[in-house]
């Protein structure tokens, strides 16, 4: 599908990253990027209540923001991790996204201000992300949420953290803490060499040189790149992880790694749905005020979370309705029904529907 014309105009009007990334400090780039992100939203979406909370972490307090839906006592909780390459953004830049998710899903959303690189290298962000969800489970009564209905979610680098936290909880024997994970165009392998990384590495929002720069800021030691908590796709064993929804974008350099991760989860016996949004690039959800696909994706994510956290068990989200225009499910092996000319994912043709595979 061609690149969405609204998104093409957004890309055209966005200022490019400096030609020499070393000529500007990470802090200056962060400040400029945060300001651009905040300029997208015209007003705040109303929710039941909003409160800043102090999370107890192993290295000190972690700032977080709790959004509660209207008229729901002890709602489920979604612990959300913002994107930004581990270097940019905050609870402020993702305020409207979290408000919308809370309203649409009927769940409380706790957005975590984890420590950023390069000031805080790996695994600081992962530790903050994990400590936040553990604390939320322990402080559920204080927060007024259901301790048995907690999910993690995040976009881009935040999707990496959501996946890493799910792995870490399982490895610590606390796998029952997290009922579901939602990974939105996630970074799952910081040394990825899949085709989409190069096919869409220039001119499609997230550029390959910027991706390399983010990783350089995040890792203190290049050998950390193969640590599963930095690159969840490289984990040897994915059994015992919570059910997952993986959202990818057709023109995203990270597309293949997200879809491969969903395939590996399914192969490990974990219910996993992967949805590729056609005509979209990395980061498209943040433009939901202008992009229908962004609004559709947030609605899909909210519906998935609602089913996962209010279903009859950890595997509740096992099926999904047909996809609407502009999105298609991915996964599965080619069958005799596949038609010539259909776009292909890493494990078979893209079909004009969405399904759990």
Can you tell me whether residue 59 is helix, strand or coil? coil
Q: Would 220 be classed as within a structural domain?
A: yes
- DSSP state for residue 74 in the 8-state scheme: S
In a domain, 329, yes or no: yes
- Residue-by-residue DSSP string for 163-228: HHHHHHHHHTT-GGG--EEEEES----TT---HHHHHTSSSSSS-HHHHHHHHHHH-SSGGGGGST
pLDDT in tens, the chain (357 residues): 899 999 999 999 988 888 888 889 999 999 999 999 999 887 778 899 999 999 999 999 999 999 999 988 999 999 999 999 999 999 999 999 999 999 999 999 999 999 999 999 999 999 999 999 999 999 999 999 999 999 999 999 999 999 999 999 999 999 999 999 999 999 999 999 999 999 999 999 999 999 999 999 999 999 999 999 999 999 999 999 999 999 999 999 999 999 999 999 999 999 999 999 999 999 999 999 999 999 999 999 999 999 999 863 333 444 333 344 465 554 433 322 333 344 455 444 444 333 333
One DSSP character per residue, 286-301 reads GGTTT-HHHHHHHHHH
Q: What Å distances lie between residue 233 and 168, 195, 225, CA to CA?
A: 13, 16, 11
Strand order in the sheet with 327-329: 49-57, 60-68, 108-112, 77-81, 150-155, 180-184, 244-249, 272-277, 327-329
Report the catalytic residues.
156, 252, 282
Tokens of residue 288, six digits: 């939901």
Q: Is residue 356 part of a domain?
A: no
* Total count of domains within the chain: 1
- Residue 194 sits at the vertex; the CA angle it makes with 192 and 199, to the nearest 5 degrees, is 115
Q: Rounded to an integer, what distance in angstroms lies between the CA atom of residue 225 and that of residue 219?
A: 7
The answer as to whether 85 is a domain residue is yes
How far, in whole angstroms, is CA 155 from its chain's centroid?
3
317 lies in a domain? yes
Residue 45 forms part of a structural domain: yes
Domain enclosing residue 233, as ranges: 5-349
What CATH number has the domain bearing residue 122?
Answer: 3.40.50.1820
Residue-level pLDDT at 322: 37
The CA radius of gyration of the chain, in Å to the nearest whole number, is 19
Is 196 among the domain residues? yes
Task: Say whether pTM exceeds 0.85.
Answer: yes
Secondary structure letter of residue 340 according to DSSP: T
Render the burial of 84-99: b for 16+ CB within 10 Å, e for the rest.
Answer: bbbbbbbbebbbbbbb
270 belongs to a structural domain: yes
């Amino acid at each position: 599908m061609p690149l969405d014309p609204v998104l093409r105009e957004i890309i055209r009007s966005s200022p490019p990253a400096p030609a020499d990334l070393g000529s500007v400090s990470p802090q200056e780039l962060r400040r400029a990027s945060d300001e651009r992100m905040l300029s997208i939203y015209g007003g705040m979406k109303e929710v039941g209540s909003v409160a800043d909370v102090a999370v107890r972490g192993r290295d000190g307090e972690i700032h977080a923001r709790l959004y509660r839906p209207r008229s729901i006592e002890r709602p489920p909780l979604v612990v959300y991790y913002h994107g930004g390459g581990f270097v940019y953004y905050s609870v402020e830049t993702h305020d409207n996204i979290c408000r919308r998710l809370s309203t649409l899903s009927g769940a409380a959303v706790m957005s975590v201000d984890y420590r950023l690189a390069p000031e805080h290298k790996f695994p600081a962000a992962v530790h903050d992300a994990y400590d936040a969800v553990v604390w939320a489970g322990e402080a559920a009564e204080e927060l007024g949420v259901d301790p048995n209905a907690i999910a993690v979610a995040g976009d881009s680098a935040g999707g990496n953290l959501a996946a890493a936290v799910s792995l870490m909880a399982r490895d610590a024997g606390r796998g029952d803490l997290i009922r579901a994970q939602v990974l939105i165009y996630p970074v799952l392998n910081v040394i990825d060499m899949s085709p989409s990384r190069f096919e869409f590495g220039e001119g499609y929002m997230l550029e390959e040189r910027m991706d390399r720069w983010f990783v350089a800021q995040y890792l203190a030691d290049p050998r950390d790149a193969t640590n599963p908590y930095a690159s969840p796709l490289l984990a040897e064993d994915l059994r015992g992880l919570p059910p997952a929804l993986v959202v990818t974008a057709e023109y995203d350099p990270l597309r293949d790694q997200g879809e491969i991760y969903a395939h590996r989860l399914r192969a490990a016996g974990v219910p996993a749905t992967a949805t590729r949004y056609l005509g979209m690039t990395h980061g498209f959800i943040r433009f939901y005020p202008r992009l229908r696909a962004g609004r559709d994706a947030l609605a899909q994510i909210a519906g998935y979370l609602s089913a996962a956290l209010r279903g009859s068990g950890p595997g509740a989200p096992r099926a999904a309705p047909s996809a609407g225009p502009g999105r298609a499910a991915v996964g599965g092996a080619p069958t005799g029904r596949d038609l010539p000319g259909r776009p292909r994912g890493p494990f078979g043709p893209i079909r004009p529907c969405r399904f759990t595979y």
